[in-house]
Amino acid sequence: MDKIEHIGIAVKDLDAANEVYTKLFAEPPYKTEMVESEGVSTSFFKVGESKIELLEAIDPESAIAKFIEKKGEGIHHIAYAVADIKAEMERMRAEGFVVLNDEPKKGADNKLVCFLHPKSTNGVLIELCQEIS
């Protein structure tokens, strides 16, 4: 893993959250994006070399909707940048982690992504992401 790529935060209202984080960072989000496959609308803020991703459910059956229903708004996942996501997925499986995806899928911000089950990572949902070239 190369670095923390971003921290994902589940929010009920993306527009309201964007206002809060724009005030917090004194900058608006540099990108907003709908990720239909995940049932979310997202926005991204740069914080130094890292990013904050805000995620609002647009599908009541999405993982974000279920997360907010169960736990409320808050940190949903930590994403780590990797150079070769398929190799890293194989390494994670070999190390005994539960990889939630058979293959990487297209995520937000021009990334291929996969997730590690929180039961195998001390309760934290981990996202691996690779820049799509």
Per residue of the chain (133 residues), give pLDDT as tens.
889 999 999 999 999 999 999 999 999 999 999 998 889 999 999 999 889 999 999 999 999 999 999 999 999 999 999 999 999 999 999 999 999 999 999 988 889 999 999 999 999 999 999 999 8
Question: What's the rounded Cα separation, in Å, for the pair 14 and 107?
Answer: 18
Closest by CA position to 125, among listed 61, 74, 84, 82? 74
Cβ atoms within 10 Å of 86's Cβ, excluding its own:
14
pTM of the full predicted structure? 0.90
Neighbouring-strand partners of residue 81: 3, 129
DSSP assignments along 64-79, one per residue: HHHHHHHH-SEEEEEE
The two tokens of residue 86 are: 């398929």
State which H helix or E strand residue 119 sits in. none
pLDDT, residue 1, reads 80
pLDDT, residue 2, reads 83
pLDDT, residue 133, reads 83
pLDDT, residue 23, reads 97
Are 116 and 92 spatial neighbours (Cβ–Cβ below 8 Å)? yes
The vertex-128 CA angle with 8 and 29, nearest 5°, equals: 35
Closest by CA position to 51, among listed 70, 38, 33? 33
CA distances (Å), origin 76, targets 27, 54, 86, 115: 22, 9, 23, 12
The two tokens of residue 53 are: 């991703």
